[in-house]
């Protein structure tokens, strides 16, 4: 049977990255996507912006929406302080299976919890299921039409606090116009656009960083 792209990405990690070395896992995926097959990881250019935001926020509790193969999950977790945790939501069970193996190869299982299922169902359960009070950082990288409803859901569930940072991928390509309009015009957010490129291409894309003002 034919392998899937996520499976081929995982094999590239297992072949080219050093077990237990997260940065070598990130490098191996970027090399695979540049040289072999494009895949929808945040990539190295936007990844450097992600790194700088994570290092500035120094979060203890992180929510990632959209795990895919775990590239950004590993990238974020490799920068977290010892007790910090990431909860990452993945809708597609095949992606989740691959992501768990990529995360294991990086040796970051203890910092990362991969949760399978729709964000709309899991966000209201975060407090009771995972003992989360509020998130310090939310990385939005899932279905683009879910960014706005899930942001409103996070607000309504009291999962954001004054100063929580929302960082959203793909606000230009594929684009999240309703989300952008909301965070840029709502008095409850202070928003900033980081212009970049769609991973592994010359097309414009960027990250939107929004601070929740409470």
Stretch binding ligand 75Z (CB under 6 A), from 2-10, 106-114, 141-149, 186-194: 141-149
Q: Which residue has the tokens 């399978």?
A: 116
| Cα 125 from chain centroid (whole Å) | 19
- Does position 146 interact with ligand 75Z (CB under 6 A)? The reply is yes
Give DSSP secondary structure letters for 100-132: HHHHHHHT-GGGEEEEES-HHHHGGGHHHHH--
Contact (CB, 8 A) for 65 and 89 = yes
Binding mask 55-74 for ligand 75Z (x = CB under 6 A): ----------xx-x------
Shortest approach of Mg ion to residue 200 CB, angstroms?
12
Considering the complex, state which of residue 67 and residue 170 has its C-beta at the smaller distance from Mg ion: 170
Identify the CA nearest to 67 among candidates 6, 4, 114, 1. Answer: 114
What is 16-31 written as a DSSP string? HSPTT-HHHHHHHHHH
Smaller CB separation from Mg ion, 141 or 150: 141
Distance CA 110, CA 89 (A): 16
| C-alpha angle 122-125-126 in degrees, rounded to nearest 5 | 90
- Which one is catalytic: 44, 64, 169, 205? 169
- Smallest distance, Mg ion to C-beta of residue 41, A: 7
Q: Residue 6: exposed, middle, or buried by beta-carbon count in 10 A (0-12, 13-18, 19+)?
A: buried
Which does residue 85 bind out of Mg ion, ligand 75Z, none, counting CB within 5 to 8 angstroms by kind? Answer: none
Nearer to ligand 75Z, 152 or 162 (CB): 152
CB closer to ligand 75Z, 30 vs 90: 90
170 is catalytic: yes
* Cα separation, 184 vs 210, whole angstroms: 8
Q: Which of 150, 169, 205, 208 binds Mg ion (CB under 5 A)?
A: 169
Smallest separation (angstroms) from ligand 75Z to the CB of 54:
17
**Chain residues in the site for ligand 75Z (CB under 6 A):** 40, 65-66, 68, 89-92, 95, 118-119, 141-143, 146, 169-170, 173-174, 198-199
**Chain residues in the site for Mg ion (CB under 5 A):** 141, 169-170
């Amino acid at each position: 049977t034919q392998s899937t792209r996520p499976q081929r990405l995982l094999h590239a990690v297992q072949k080219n990255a050093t077990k237990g070395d997260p940065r070598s896992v990130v490098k191996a995926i970027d090399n695979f996507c540049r040289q072999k097959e494009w895949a929808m990881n945040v990539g190295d250019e936007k990844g450097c912006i992600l790194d700088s935001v994570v290092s500035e926020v120094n979060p203890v509790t992180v929510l990632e929406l959209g795990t895919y193969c775990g590239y950004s999950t590993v990238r974020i977790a490799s920068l977290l302080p010892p007790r910090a945790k990431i909860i990452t939501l993945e809708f597609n069970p095949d992606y989740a299976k691959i992501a768990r193996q990529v995360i294991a190869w990086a040796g970051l299982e203890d910092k990362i919890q991969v949760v399978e299922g729709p964000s709309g169902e899991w966000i209201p359960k975060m407090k009771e299921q995972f003992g989360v009070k509020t998130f310090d950082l939310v990385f939005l990288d899932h279905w683009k039409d879910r960014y706005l409803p899930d942001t409103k859901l996070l607000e309504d569930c009291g999962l954001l606090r004054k100063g929580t940072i929302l960082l959203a991928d793909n606000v230009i390509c594929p684009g999240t116009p309703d989300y952008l309009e909301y965070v840029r015009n709502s008095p409850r957010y202070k928003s900033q656009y980081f212009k970049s490129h769609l991973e592994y291409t010359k097309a414009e894309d960027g990250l939107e960083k929004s601070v929740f003002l409470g």
